[in-house]
Amino acid sequence: MISPWELVNETCDRLGIKPADRVLVVRIGTQTMQLYLNGELVRSYVVSTSRRPPSNIKDSLGTPRGLHTIADRIGGGQPPGMVFKSRVSTGRHFSELPDVDQHPNLITSRILWLRGLEPGVNSGNTPAGDIVDTYERYIYIHGTNHEDRLGAPQSAGCVLMGNHDIVELFEDVRPGDLVWIE
């Protein structure tokens, strides 16, 4: 059985991309994410991916599969639980919002904005013209106000994490690090 590290390196080789030292592996089937450093498992997290089937197509609300990179890191220095709208801090912790505003999954604490690296799969368009661009779809790894639901599919395509976990992870990764979603 091939390891995620080997699979990422094979995909990088096929795409002509330099492998990264740090790789995140998101496993939709188990709702987990692992951080690898030079092929060694450093840490594992419970996450939540899309409540819909995995999909790379725009407006599908599915979590996109394949090789991605961290394009942007947003929210450094904000307290855990801070709510973001359009990637800008609202200045409010999710617990300060009225109950009705806390019902949906909010974007909290930190944002790791993903960019697909596989043309026609999770970057650009398919040959049929479907948009499959992870970055254009605003797919992130981010904190959530519903930490009690982690471990079960619940997002609209993003990868959700506990607020303290995403703050910790944010410090360990950089733009250009790779993310494999399977």
pLDDT at position 4: 82
CATH number for 149:
2.40.440.10
In this prediction, residue 15 has a pLDDT band, given cuts at 50, 70 and 90, of very high
Distances (CA, A) of 78 to 100, 109, 125: 24, 7, 35
Q: How many domains does the chain have?
A: 1
pLDDT at position 56: 96
| DSSP three-state, residue 19 | coil
Cβ burial of 100 (10 Å; 0-12, 13-18, 19+) is exposed
pLDDT at position 100: 76
pLDDT at position 119: 96
CB 22 within 8 A of CB 34: no
Q: Which residue has the tokens 């904000």?
A: 78
90-147 confidence digits (pLDDT tens) = 999 999 988 777 778 999 999 999 999 999 999 999 889 899 999 999 999 999 999 9
- 2, pLDDT greater than 90: no
Give the pair of three-digit tokens for residue 122.
């999770």
Distances (CA, A) of 79 to 25, 30, 51, 93, 128: 26, 29, 27, 8, 44
pTM: 0.95
Of residues 126 and 48, more confidence is placed in: 48
Cβ burial of 14 (10 Å; 0-12, 13-18, 19+) is exposed
The amino acid at residue 56 is: N
Span 8-27, average pLDDT? 94
pLDDT at position 97: 84
CB 78 within 8 A of CB 109: yes
pLDDT at position 68: 98
| Residue 175 φ/ψ, nearest 5 degrees | -55, 140
- 37, pLDDT greater than 90: yes
Domain residues for the domain of 155 are: 4-181
Name the nearest CA neighbour of 69 among 127, 24, 6, 11: 24
DSSP 8-state code for residue 94: G
- 16, pLDDT greater than 80: yes
